[in-house]
Amino acid sequence: MQKENKRSRDTDCEKLCEKIGYRFKNKQLLLTALTHSSYANELHDGTKYNERLEFLGDSVLSIVVSDYIYLNCPEFPEGKLTKLRASLVCEKSLYGYAKQIDLGEFLRLSKGERKCGGDDRPSILSDAFEALIAALYLDGGIEVARKFILRFVVPDIKSARPVKYRDYKTVLQEIIQKNPGERLSYELVKEYGPDHDKHFVVEVHLNSNVIGKGGGRSKKDAEQEAARVALELMGY
């Protein structure tokens, strides 16, 4: 019976390795990542389960996501970066990522937990996904973990980036016009470079306050950039 269980276990590990595109040097790390506490408690034999790996995986996930969005979303201020990261590492997102690789099918759960639908419970799947990240990190290093994580989060990051307006000045004007008495103006504050390669810097003012600053190779481009910055700072 033990041989049959081991054969089934090894087959499951192979299937999951194919799904994630990585073969573990230390298969015990993968087994531990897939082991829920209910399974270990049912055996009473000292089997390790995935809670410690989950702890580590949470940190690896956070640093990889933070690094990626910091470098690839330069238009996002700190507040938006924080919100984006939170949306990518929350239980709902991790549950969705786990479902993409059918992670629930490979989890080692107690009979009772599986009977109660534990293999599809968001909390269990999201925790197991973090544990899997830690196992990949410990077995293959940060680049292996990064490649795995970005496979899931990059599509979500791309969909979260703001729509690029064709005419930022018009959009900004329409927003300001909702408040009678407010006045927008654009002021050229700097101009430099030879005639064939001029660069202009423009500020956009709301009444007497600077709400955006931008540069470009023409006054028009600089005004558009200043309006874009103002919109971003206003949360649009």
Contact 22, 136 (CB under 8 A): yes
Neighbouring CB atoms inside 10 A of 25's CB total 8
Distance of CA 219 to the CA centre of its chain: 36
Could you tell me which residues come within 8 angstroms of residue 133 by beta carbon, excluding any fewer than 6 positions away? Answer: 57, 60, 61, 145, 148, 149
Block residue for tokens 């197991």: 128
Catalytic residue among 12, 42, 51, 58: 58
3-state secondary structure of 183: coil
Q: Which backbone phi and psi does 214 adopt, to 5 degrees?
A: -150, 160
- 14 catalytic, yes or no? no
Q: What is the rounded CA–CA span in Å between residue 27 and residue 188?
A: 63
3-state secondary structure of 188: strand
- 221 catalytic, yes or no? no
Catalytic residue among 127, 130, 203, 225: 130
Q: What is the rounded CA–CA span in Å between residue 99 and residue 35?
A: 17
Give catalytic residues, as residue numbers: 58, 130
